[in-house]
Amino acid sequence: MQRTIITDEAFLAVPSEPATEADAGIARDLLDTLAAHADACVGLAANMIGVAKRIIVFHDETTGRNMTMFNPVVTAKSGRYETEEGCLSLKGVRPTVRYERITVTYRTRRWREATATFDGFTAEIIQHEIDHCDGVLI
């Protein structure tokens, strides 16, 4: 089910709680909401739809598919650079620091632990969404 995008910065600034297997419905809603905003959005975190759980979805430009991560954690990063990003929840674009290549440990939709490495724009998207989980506003 498509959900409304939250713009309340006080809510978005609160770190999210760990997700559990019972949160699968939230991930489905995130994917539906991402699809509804595909013309202007490449990733979402659960707090952006009003749920303070560590769940992100994003468009993986390498595979061309949308991907879900529960409890993602960046475990390695390299290639620091400065950029500007926009966000559906915030007005305008803002400066931030990102890394060209990241390794992330997370749980899949089947609740299996996984580790994967991402580069380029997909890595930037994931970092942005994990920031949301951490209550960091760009």
* DSSP H or E segment with residue 93: strand 90-107
Those residues whose C-beta lies under 8 Å from the C-beta of residue 37, and which sit 6 or more positions away, are 5, 44, 88
In the structure, what pLDDT confidence band is assigned to residue 87 with cuts at 50, 70 and 90? Answer: very high
Residue tagged 């930037």 (tokens): 124
Which candidate, 3, 8, 63, 70, places its Cα nearest to that of 34?
A: 3
Residue 51 clears pLDDT 90, i.e. is over it: yes
In the structure, what pLDDT confidence band is assigned to residue 138 with cuts at 50, 70 and 90? Answer: confident
Q: Quick one: pLDDT at residue 28?
A: 97
The alpha carbon of 117 is separated from its chain's Cα centroid by a whole number of angstroms, namely 15
For residue 109, the one-letter residue type is R
pTM, 2 dp: 0.96
Q: Which domain holds residue 101?
A: 9-133
For residue 2, tell me if it sits in a domain. Answer: no
Q: How far apart are CA 34 and CA 68, in angstroms?
A: 11
| pLDDT tens sequence across 100-123 | 999 999 999 999 999 999 999 999
For residue 90, tell me if it sits in a domain. Answer: yes
Give the CATH number of the domain where residue 85 resides: 3.90.45.10
For residue 39, tell me if it sits in a domain. Answer: yes
**Active-site residues: which are they?**
129
Average pLDDT, integer, range 79-105: 95
Q: Contact 104/118 with Cβ under 8 angstroms?
A: yes
Count of structural domains within the chain: 1
For residue 1, tell me if it sits in a domain. Answer: no
